[in-house]
Chain A
Amino acid sequence: MKDDLIFTPPAKRHFDPWAYVLLAPALVLLMVFLFLPALWAFLTGLNLTPDTSYDAVFSAYSSQLQSGLFWRAIINTLYFSGIYVPGALALGYVLARVLHRSVAKAPVLLLFVVPLVVPGVAVSFLWRWIFSQDAGLLNAALQVVGLPAIDWLGQAPLVLPSIALMSIWRGAGMVAIVFYVALRGLPKEFEELAEIEGACGWKKFVYLTLPALRPAWLIAILLLLINAHRVFSAIFVMTRDGGPANWATNLPFLIYRTGMRHDFDFSGASVISTMLCFTIALLVVLLRRNELSVRGGDE
């Protein structure tokens, strides 16, 4: 009986009114400044005047779906993702691999985190200067090799790849962290086993590393995809109003343009916001279905 008293596990925590007291300040602020305004925005996207027919409720949605700029923004977002996701993924993986093998690990990894910590406006400013046609670092480098200068941010099809290049520089550090942690989580014998079994180069990558790091690949891809749907300050700072012929207008920038700048079309912007948020929420659900194995110790 005495033993029972000592070893009884703590009672299953049940409802505790204190939870609401502790949550109160956060919940009130979130309600007033986040959830209710977001709900208002969502409802603004629907046409809910009492006498409208069932079809008319979604009129703002159908008018967006018929808008050329909306599809342009979707294509631009996909175009951007198509360059940014594979680019940052490959570079980040290489970075993690090299880091994992080299002498100084974690402190050097931090160097690649700097671009993530510096504000997006500052980073975009720096890169706009780098990309500039007459005084930019990139064109100066091209001229040393004997190539002609390129107007990186002034030509329609080149704007997004240029911004993607900057974003790859920014995002690779994040991917490197994910892969670095995943590589450390692998058992030590892993590499030795691969060599004993005679696996090398591509074979080792395809049959061993790739399957063993599967959660890390999925997590990295999903994080990058989510990021690709969030790019805003780079477009704001590096282009003039969404780039030549709207070639840099992605979904976030279109929301800003529609709702806050050109015609204050709140319902139009709400419709795009709603669709964008649903897409991101879906990606987040997929993201949380994967688990990263982390090994403790001297990270």
Chain B
Amino acid sequence: MSKRVRATLVLIVLAVVWVIPLVSLFFDAGRARSIGASVAGIDAHLLHVILFSAFVSAVPALFSCVFGTMAGYAISKKRFVGRNILYGMLLGVVFFPPVVFMMPLFKIVSVLRIYDTPLAFILPSAVTAFSIIYMKSAVDRISSSIFDAARIDGIGELAMLKEIVYPLTKGPLAALFVLQFLANWGALAMPLAVADSPARQTLAVYLALSVQKYQVIQRQELLLPLLLLMIPAAAFFFLKPIEITRGVLRTIIKCKDA
């Protein structure tokens, strides 16, 4: 058996082992039926939770694409006082666990009197450190000479964003939207910090709190929320997942071209 064939076989075995935990729960006729039953008899609260999650995940993701592009372009192509300090801080913040921001966030939304409102979900995620440094690394790949040429032609800064940055970063922008949507969709610490009423539960919070409450997790009615929580991840694979992965890698790790 050649090395190549052997490696492929090992890989197939590993791939099967990897997938089992993801699908094990749904490969049971009884459970599949109960998911079907819960879809048919979905209760108003769960429906509300799903719609609310989608709303507070999509809106800030969209904003962070816009603001992230503007800031990323500025950091990538302009020199200003505090540029390196800002970039360094953003790089650090990306790696901080969300838990450390729970209390500060709780404090600020209380001070601003938006605790337990949709705004408390949207504003703090309307721009993220990740969106800025991700777009910075995307704009880094556009040659500066294009901007110089445009400047000579007398193009303004906003037109520059619209005519050069946007068309050349459409791919990374779509990826950023999906990544930010998924981050908001799956977030646990942040939504726990900014709201506490059942009407302001996201799907992740709903599921996590249900598990905390019952402690027994073999409950058929939790299967549907679980499945719904997992499904949006598929969006990642419908875009160009390899390019996204490469983009994220280049954002958080220093890379040089060999």
Residue positions of A touching B, CB distance < 8 A: 10, 13-16, 18-23, 25-27, 29-30, 32-38, 40-41, 95, 98-99, 101-104, 106-108, 110-115, 117-123, 125-130, 132, 135, 137, 169, 177-178, 181, 185, 219, 223, 226, 229-230, 232-233, 236-237, 240, 252-253, 255-256, 259-260, 266, 269-270, 273, 276-277, 280-281, 283-284, 287-288, 290-296, 299
**Measured between alpha carbons, how far is A150 from B257 in the docked complex, in Å?**
49
- Smallest beta-carbon distance A274→chain B, Å: 8
Cβ of B177 under 8 Å from chain A = no
Take A40-B107, A119-B186, A295-B258 as given contacts and tell me if A111 and B19 are in contact as well, using a CB distance cutoff of 8 Å: yes
- Smallest beta-carbon distance B117→chain A, Å: 14
Cβ of B157 under 8 Å from chain A = yes
**Measured between alpha carbons, how far is A252 from B99 in the docked complex, in Å?**
6
Residue of A nearest to B215 (CB): A240
Q: Give every chain B residue within 8 A of A181 (Cβ-Cβ).
A: 249
Residue of A nearest to B211 (CB): A237
Cβ of B233 under 8 Å from chain A = yes
**Measured between alpha carbons, how far is A14 from B211 in the docked complex, in Å?**
55
- Smallest beta-carbon distance A5→chain B, Å: 12
Interface string of B94-118 (1 = CB under 8 A from A): 0111111111111110001000000
Cβ of B123 and Cβ of A125 under 8 Å apart?
no
Cβ of A137 and Cβ of B24 under 8 Å apart?
yes
Residue of B nearest to A181 (CB): B249
Cβ of B253 under 8 Å from chain A = yes
Cβ of A293 and Cβ of B258 under 8 Å apart?
yes
Q: Give every chain A residue within 8 A of B36 (Cβ-Cβ).
A: none
Q: Give every chain B residue within 8 A of A10 (Cβ-Cβ).
A: 144-145, 148
**Measured between alpha carbons, how far is A242 from B248 in the docked complex, in Å?**
32
Given contacts A98-B10, A178-B253, 17 further A-B contacts (CB under 8 A): A19-B79, A22-B157, A22-B161, A25-B67, A25-B70, A26-B71, A35-B89, A40-B108, A98-B7, A101-B3, A106-B242, A122-B204, A122-B230, A266-B107, A283-B95, A284-B95, A292-B256
Cβ of A40 and Cβ of B123 under 8 Å apart?
no
Kindly identify which residue among A40, A102, A237, A290 contacts B7, using a CB–CB cutoff of 8 Å: A102
Cβ of B67 and Cβ of A121 under 8 Å apart?
no
Residue of B nearest to A261 (CB): B192
Take A121-B208, A137-B24 as given contacts and tell me if A13 and B104 are in contact as well, using a CB distance cutoff of 8 Å: no
**Measured between alpha carbons, how far is A121 from B91 in the docked complex, in Å?**
25
- Smallest beta-carbon distance A101→chain B, Å: 4
Interface string of B64-76 (1 = CB under 8 A from A): 0001101101110
Residue of A nearest to B185 (CB): A119
* Sampled A-B contacts (13; CB under 8 Å): A15-B79, A19-B83, A22-B74, A33-B105, A41-B103, A110-B245, A237-B211, A260-B106, A266-B103, A266-B107, A284-B95, A292-B254, A293-B258
Cβ of B15 under 8 Å from chain A = yes
Residue of A nearest to B100 (CB): A273
Cβ of B92 and Cβ of A280 under 8 Å apart?
yes
Q: Give every chain A residue within 8 A of B104 (Cβ-Cβ).
A: 34, 37-38, 40-41
Cβ of B255 and Cβ of A294 under 8 Å apart?
yes
**Measured between alpha carbons, how far is A236 from B3 in the docked complex, in Å?**
44
Residue positions of B touching A, CB distance < 8 A: 3-4, 7-8, 10-11, 14-15, 18-22, 24-25, 67-68, 70-71, 73-75, 77-81, 83, 86, 89, 91-93, 95-108, 112, 123-124, 126-127, 129, 132, 144-145, 148, 157, 161, 182, 185-186, 188-189, 192-193, 204, 207-208, 211-212, 215, 217-218, 222, 226, 229-230, 233, 236-237, 241-242, 245-246, 249-250, 252-258
- Smallest beta-carbon distance B205→chain A, Å: 8
Cβ of B97 and Cβ of A252 under 8 Å apart?
yes
Q: Give every chain A residue within 8 A of B91 (Cβ-Cβ).
A: 284, 288
- Smallest beta-carbon distance A18→chain B, Å: 5
**Measured between alpha carbons, how far is A141 from B191 in the docked complex, in Å?**
37
**Measured between alpha carbons, how far is A113 from B10 in the docked complex, in Å?**
18
Residue of B nearest to A294 (CB): B255
- Smallest beta-carbon distance B148→chain A, Å: 5
Cβ of A29 and Cβ of B105 under 8 Å apart?
no
Cβ of A232 and Cβ of B188 under 8 Å apart?
yes
- Smallest beta-carbon distance A77→chain B, Å: 11
Q: Give every chain A residue within 8 A of B144 (Cβ-Cβ).
A: 10, 13
Take A110-B242, A294-B256 as given contacts and tell me if A255 and B99 are in contact as well, using a CB distance cutoff of 8 Å: yes
